[in-house]
Structure formats: C-alpha cells, structure tokens
Amino acid sequence: MDNVSLITMFVLSGFNETENYQAYIFALTLLCYCFIVLVNVSLIVTVILDKNLHEPMYILLCTFCMNGLYGTTGFYPKFLWDLLSPVQVISYSGCLIQALVMYSFACSDLSILAVMAYDRYVAICRPLQYNSIMSKQRVFLLVCFSWLTPSCIIGTNIILTSRLKLCSPHITRLFCVNWIIVKLACFPADTLVNNIVAYITIIIYVFHGLFIVWSYMYLVKTCVHSKENRAKFMQTCVPHLISLITFLVAILFDVSNMRIGSKDWPQPLQNFIAIEFLIIPPIINPLIYGFKLTKIRNRIIGIITFKMKLLLS
C-alpha cells in the first residue's frame, strides 16, 4: 500500500474509443466551443452596454451566461488539448480543480434558475412591490449566493476527496468527476463521510428544484385569470422553463449514469451523457433568451443592422 500516496497523475481512459476520430471530434468541439463563447459573450455585452437592460431579470440572465462560460472553460480547452495529445493525463491537483469547476458550475446554474424563478414570481404576483423587493442590493446578494454557495458546497466535497488514499490513476471519463475519484479509494470505509456529504448536496439542490416547481405552479395559478399576466408569463417565463428543463434533463442523465449507469453501455454513449450538460444548455440558453425576450432581440437586431449599414456604406 506504499504506492497509494504517490499518485500524482490521472489517466483519462474515456478517450480510448476516440482514437480513430480525434481529428473530426477536435474540429466539431472547437466549432462548438467558439459558438458557445460567441453567443454567450454577445448576450453579456448586449446587457452590459444597454442601460435599458440594467434590470434584475437581465442582470440574472447575464450572470447565467457568465456561469455558462465559466463551466465550459473548465472543460473545452483541456478536452481540445487532450485530443491533440498522444496521452490523455491530468495532474492530481488539476483534476480536483476541474472537478470543482464542473460541479460548482452545474450547482450555480440551478441556483441562478431558482433566483430567476423567484424574480418572475415577484414580477407577476407582486408587481407593485417588485422594485422594493428586487432592489440592486438584493439582486447583488442573490447573485453572490448563486455563485459562492455552490462553490463552498462543492469545495467541501473536493476537500473531503483530497484526504482519500487512491489505488488507481484511471478515470473512465473525458474529464475529472469527484464521484469517480472517490470510487478509486483504497478503503471504502474512508468514503462514508464523502457519501453523506454528497447526498446532502443532492438533497440541497433537489430543494432548489422543488422551489422552482412551486414558484411556477403559483405563477400558472395566478396567470390563468389574467390576460396581461398570461402575456408576461409567455414572454419571460417560457424561456426560463425551457432552460430549466434542458438543464435538468442533462444533469439527471449524467447523475444516473454515474450512480446507476450500466458498464455494458458503449463508451461513446457514456461520454456523450457525461458532457451533455456542457454542450446543450450553454448553447440553447442564450439563443432562447436572445430570440424570445423582446428587448434583447430588438437590441441585437439593432446592432446587426447598424454593422451591416457600416459595411455597405
């Protein structure tokens, strides 16, 4: 057992099935990452530059897109590098940092969605009190909560993982996942605290999801009897619901694959399920909000029209 403390590198064995297609995967991944950066940065810049968009809903949307960039930056550059490398390895500390980034990103996404649901609840159900409840100070605190709380919770999970003695350097994924690292522990009894904290983390974010469901049930009940509220709901809440459903489906597939997934599943399928939450939500979210929210759509169309006139003049 003397070797267990000498593991300084992990081998990402999820790449084993990609050897014959790495050039194609690299090109598609680079295109996907560039598109994610383009659409998210475009929406962020649009909100920042237009003072008419400095409202709680758009500030939260801006935060949502920033979080998407944070999470994808934790995966795509390393993934692209690995596709060009003869061996796919990552340092022990780098692996823990990547696991922290991946899952603090996912938990922050759910926290931001919960805050956005609260914002829509106040806007539609308590419109006269909206400006006092969703003040700049409160929005700032809610944004800090959405980022700092997940980082602390996931950070606790990572710190607990760092104390484990590991017996294998092989991670059967394309990137580092805390639960997979925990399963490499030499002594299963040592992982009891990790399991308890992991399930507490899951319960916390299940309550986030239940809060969102409750908010929307209340919103639907309120909007049914008012044509004006129905219009507000369709305009601002439908994009949020699509984002929520997309995110939850991607995360549920990933968690199911980690916890109860079959080893008989093909590795490419397992790889896709693992990275689905890093592909679909970061692309879909800014597109949905950009097309559906009138103020943002008009602002983007105005910028494009202005640029076209400059090019043609």
**10-residue averages of pLDDT along the chain (313 residues):** 64 76 87 92 88 87 92 92 87 92 91 90 85 90 93 94 88 86 86 91 89 83 73 70 77 69 66 81 82 71 69 68
| 170-171 and 9-12 strand pairing | parallel
Report the alpha-carbon distance of residue 278 to residue 239 in Å, rounded. Answer: 19
> Given this model, what pLDDT does residue 73 score?
93
Structure tokens at 309: 């006139």
State residue 158's pLDDT score.
94
- What is the pTM for the complete model shown? 0.85
pLDDT of residue 1: 44
Q: Measure the CA–CA gap between 233 and 213, rounded to whole angstroms.
A: 15
CATH number for the domain formed by residue range(s) 9-311:
1.20.1070.10
pLDDT on residue 261: 55
> Is residue 14 within 8 Å of residue 270, measured between CB atoms?
yes
Structure tokens at 24: 């194609």
Using CA atoms, how far apart are residues 167 and 6, in angstroms rounded to an integer? 10
**pLDDT at site 303:** 67
pLDDT at position 23, please? 83
Residue 253 half-sphere exposure toward CB, CA atoms < 13 A:
16
Residue holding tokens 């939450």? 277
Q: What's the pLDDT score for residue 3?
A: 45
Rounded to an integer, what distance in angstroms lies between the CA atom of residue 204 and that of residue 201? 5
Report pLDDT for 2: 46
